[in-house]
Amino acid sequence: MRKFCVYGKGGIGKSTTVSNIAAALAESKKRVLVVGCDPKADTTRNLVGRKIPTVLDVFRKKGAENMELEDIVFEGFRGVYCVESGRPEPGVSCAEEELLQQLIC
Over the chain (105 residues), the average pLDDT of each successive run of 10 is 84 94 98 91 96 94 93 98 81 56 61
In a domain, 56, yes or no: yes
* DSSP assignment of 48-87: HSS---BHHHHHHHH-GGG--HHHH-EE-GGG-EEEE---
With respect to residue 66, please indicate whether it lies within any of the assigned structural domains: yes
How far apart (Å, rounded) are the C-alpha atoms in residues 34 and 79? Answer: 11
Total structural domains within the chain: 1
State the angle between helix axes of 95-104 and 55-62 in degrees (0 to 180), rounded to the nearest 10.
Answer: 120
CA 47 to chain centre: 11
Query: pLDDT value at position 98?
Result: 62
In a domain, 19, yes or no: no
The boundaries of the domain holding residue 77 are: 30-104
Residue 35: its H or E element: strand 33-36
Stated pTM of the model: 0.80
Predicted confidence at residue 39, as pLDDT, reads 83
81, part of any domain: yes
Amino acid at 59: F
pLDDT at position 97: 58
